[in-house]
Amino acid sequence: MSHPEGDSALADIRLASPLDVEAGLPWPSPGEILGLGLSLYRATRIYLAFSLWFVLIWWLGEYVDFKGHIDVFHIEFPFCLYLFFTFNQILRPSRWRPLLAALPIFGLYAVHDSYLFLFGEVPALAQLNELPELFLVGDFWLRTGLILTLLGTAWCALRCMEYNRRSLLAALPLLGLGIALVASPALVINGMDAGRLRLNTWLQSENAARNGRLTLAVYNEARRQLALSGLESHAGNESQRQYYNQVLGYLREHARRDRQVFVILLESFLDPRLLEPYKERDEYLAPNFRRRYDKALGLSVSPMFGGGTPQAEFEVLCGLPAFAEFNKVEFNLFAGNPIPCLPQVLSELGYDTLANDPYIPAFFNVNRAYPGMGFTETYFAREHTDLPTYLRLERGYKYLFDGALYDQNRDFLEQRQSRKPLFNYLLTLYGHLYFDVQRPIKWKVKSKEAFLEKIVNISYYRSGPLAEYLEWINRHYPKSLVIALADHLPFLGGGPERYKALGYLHNTKDSVYHNRVLVIQDGKPRKLPTIHHFGVPYLVYDYLTDGGFCENFECPIAYPYDKEQLRERYHYLMANAVQRKSLE
């Protein structure tokens, strides 16, 4: 009978019992004791090696920003050691078994730290839901890596694993943890709290360093599941229902119906002049844009850095912070149920509410999120949908150039026959990672940053068409409010640290979340103090009521704002968003 490495060695170990001694049998000789030690070493050497790796990772953490803490040995080390043991039991005996057993744990640590380094935040288990979206937006190498990982996992499951009683017994605690995360998250939280977790409410990176990467991921998922299970109780919050009824009642009585609203969310738009080395390079934006709008450019604070457009959309359209309390992306939970976001409120006021998104309907669940937020019409690129649409991609390009999007939207609006007031929302995709310029390189940029030259040229090429589109709006809709803002900063290799090295916005607090915003009211550019993305709906309501809305209701527009004041309203909105029945 074959045994896994270590098991056969342990089977040969025999210690003298008290009965042996009473019978006059001698104690083990030094040679036998040495043999026992060698047997124990052979049985445990792979676990000793794994433990040394864990200690090394912890020790090295003391010399980098992601500092190690002795607390990781409370839960994280036993958990990782158990995972390593389980994978060893599940895999078939071979010389590669210890390496294959350690590979998932090494990989999780590498992915966690890479994500933290690049985006400045701790990843979550719920983000596994985003892998299909990651595959859609990724380049050839990223897609190839995902496919190879999937194929490698499938091959290992078929060829390297043993499916027997020993494997099942070893995996039972892991299976039990997975079931408990869904069925009884409170039990998981209480159990982990008993392991003396030390948590900083405001700094997740410190929590990961102190308690362990995998420990924090499991704990956060349990907290998310617990919150999700209690979400239904928030759906009938009477105070929040009354708030939205009062808002709608006030707007029905006081809002002007002869005014149009345009919101343009610009994918990864960067004003290069906010980087210290290029602060004098006005030519990096198109002359017609600078001449008309430069003095009115302001700043708006996004919930995201380098990615997460749906989070920015949620804030801009729903007027609430994207807390990501129930999912890393709120849109992923939307079931299409109508909720009182900006499009729904304007629809109640008699507006045509149009969402123009030249990408894929299923991308981050927007095919349910857009109708749920109240858009009466949604248009995606015809290359990605069978639904009626006017949008089409340019041949050979994955993301529609801003100028082409504006031209197509302008032609479509000019042909519309509706007499209703208009809310027109555009999401641009040009400028998305991996920054295909689609035009000749006009500006050579000396920088170590691989993407920066592309980003500078993209900013130049998209600012000119934006100015032309804004001028068209001013001519055709003289009574209108236009808000154009970036969803988040474009990603640079090295994440927030690269922006810090380039002196973005003089490295002021939360600078990497500050993005350009332009507000035009009745054809006149309007310079605002720094605002939040979630302040956009309140700007719209205030405009439609000639400033009356913010005199009668609190408007969380200006930065900084204590977002915790809006969490109860966030719970109410999300509780109704996940339901499949309509609000009463």
Best-predicted range by mean pLDDT (1-10, 49-58, 280-289): 280-289
CB 319 within 8 A of CB 534: yes
When divided into structural domains, the chain yields a total of: 2
- For the segment 353-401, what is each residue's pLDDT rounded down to a tens digit? 999 999 988 788 888 899 999 999 999 999 988 889 999 999 889 899 9
Q: Which domain holds residue 456?
A: 259-577
pLDDT of residue 21: 46
What's the pTM? 0.76
Residues in the chain: 584
One domain, residues 182 and 320: no
CB 264 within 8 A of CB 483: yes
Residue type, 482: V
One domain, residues 497 and 552: yes
Inter-helix orientation angle 567-577/238-254, to 10°: 90
One domain, residues 289 and 372: yes
pLDDT of residue 232: 81
Residue ending a domain, among 213, 229, 245, is 229
Q: Among 18-27, 59-68, 519-528, where is mean pLDDT lowest? A: 18-27
CB 510 within 8 A of CB 287: no
- For the segment 398-433, what is each residue's pLDDT rounded down to a tens digit? 899 999 999 999 999 999 989 999 999 999 999 998
pLDDT of residue 571: 95
Q: Among 174-188, 282-296, 504-518, where is mean pLDDT lowest? A: 174-188
One domain, residues 205 and 281: no
pLDDT of residue 12: 44
Return the closest-CA partner of residue 297 out of 485, 479, 533: 485
One domain, residues 44 and 187: yes
Question: Does a structural domain hold residue 220?
Answer: yes
Question: Does a structural domain hold residue 238?
Answer: no
- What's the rounded Cα separation, in Å, for the pair 324 and 224? 9
pLDDT of residue 575: 92
One domain, residues 214 and 337: no
Inter-helix orientation angle 238-254/536-544, to 10°: 40
pLDDT of residue 133: 67
CB 326 within 8 A of CB 224: yes
Average pLDDT, integer, range 60-68: 61
Q: Which residues contact 275 (CB under 8 A, 6 or more apart)?
A: 499, 502, 503, 504
One domain, residues 263 and 220: no
Estimate to the nearest angstrom the gap between the alpha carbon of 269 and the chain centroid. Answer: 18
Question: Does a structural domain hold residue 583?
Answer: no
One domain, residues 117 and 215: yes
One domain, residues 266 and 396: yes
CA distances (Å), origin 134, targets 142, 307, 324? 9, 11, 18
CA angle centred on 188, ends 187 and 194, rounded to 5°: 90
Question: Does a structural domain hold residue 237?
Answer: no
CA distances (Å), origin 154, targets 151, 158, 159, 163? 5, 6, 9, 14
Residue 8 scores a pLDDT above 50: no
- What's the rounded Cα separation, in Å, for the pair 229 and 454? 45
Identify the DSSP state of 486.
E
194 vs 574: which has the higher pLDDT: 574
Question: Does a structural domain hold residue 246?
Answer: no
pLDDT of residue 568: 96
Measured in degrees and rounded to the nearest 5, phi and psi for residue 290 equal: -65, -45
One domain, residues 293 and 192: no
Question: Does a structural domain hold residue 242?
Answer: no
Question: Does a structural domain hold residue 56?
Answer: yes
Ramachandran category for residue 196: left, alpha or beta (phi over 0 → left; psi -120 to 50 → alpha)? left
pLDDT of residue 583: 38
198 vs 18: which has the higher pLDDT: 198
Estimate to the nearest angstrom the gap between the alpha carbon of 261 and the chain centroid. Answer: 28
* Coil/strand/helix, residue 516: strand
- For the segment 539-573, what is each residue's pLDDT rounded down to a tens digit? 999 999 999 999 999 999 999 999 999 999 999 99
pLDDT of residue 313: 97
pLDDT of residue 228: 76
One domain, residues 222 and 271: no
Beta bridge partners of 301: 514, 532
Peptide bond into 560 cis (omega under 30): yes
One domain, residues 210 and 350: no
pLDDT of residue 168: 85
Question: Does a structural domain hold residue 234?
Answer: no
